[in-house]
Amino acid sequence: MNKQTATKNLDDIISRVEGARLRISEHHIVKIIGISKYSTAEDIETLYNSGQRAFGENKVQDLKEKMATLEELPLEWHFVGTLQKNKINNLIDLNPSLVHSIDSLELAQELDKKLQAKDKKLSALLQINSAYEDSKSGVKPEEAVFIYKEILDTCPNIKLKGVMSIGAHSEDEKLIKESFKTTKKIYDELTPLGAKYCSMGMSSDFELAIACGSNMIRVGSTLFKD
């Protein structure tokens, strides 16, 4: 991907985000995370030179390699994939800005235990399976507030920053919207407890997600297209 394409892709997304966010409020700020799992370090650097700063990876090993390759750049790295317990120590050592995928109380407690052993802290989001889909990870919506509070109470080394969900896998916009609204309702309940991010929306549905209250989107294919 050349600089011209990268700049155009980023400008297109920013203008779409601006349009969607201004329909809610001029004070509604949306953070863009570039999902770079199918892209090269070179493409990330090109996008960095066009103005994008935050990037997310799905696999701990890929995150490690790209962080090492691009260590000279002041990038903000996010981990957005499913976190396997045997990869927790490796992820802690990389110290990403935010882990998006705490998908159970059990995982949170395991992560906290290993963070305590290393005397480290990590910022994270609770993943909610708001569409009740078997193919997706995450806590059930009706258990989300309870689990969020349990993590706050029992996992002092995890700094919970909000929630994340993936929109319903459907062609029906109404279903997708419902799944986003479910997550936003939970997020609203958690803001008094310090929740800052409601991470919803990907390349195919981020405008709808913002309309439903998302303030963090995860875009890959639209940002990295040639």
CB 130, CB 175: distance < 8 Å: no
CA nearest neighbour of 107 among 120, 93, 125: 125
| Residue-level pLDDT, tens digit, the chain, 226 residues | 899 999 999 999 999 999 999 999 989 999 999 999 999 999 999 999 999 999 999 999 999 999 999 999 999 999 999 999 999 999 999 999 999 999 999 999 999 999 999 999 999 999 999 999 998 999 999 999 999 999 999 999 999 999 999 999 999 999 999 999 999 999 999 999 999 999 999 999 999 999 999 999 999 999 999 8
CA nearest neighbour of 148 among 164, 165, 162: 162
pLDDT at 226: 87
Q: Catalogue all structural domains in the chain, each as residue range(s) with its CATH number.
A: 3-80+92-224 (3.20.20.10)
CA-CA-CA-CA torsion sign (7, 14, 58, 131)? negative
CA nearest neighbour of 111 among 138, 147, 84, 78: 84
pLDDT at 129: 97
The pLDDT tens digits for 33-49 are 999 999 999 999 999 99
With H, G, I as helix, E, B as strand and everything else as coil, classify residue 87.
helix
HEC secondary structure over 104-155: CHHHHHHHHHHHHHHCCCEEEEEEECCCCCCCCCCECHHHHHHHHHHHHHHC
Query: Encoding tokens for residue 192?
Result: 């008094």
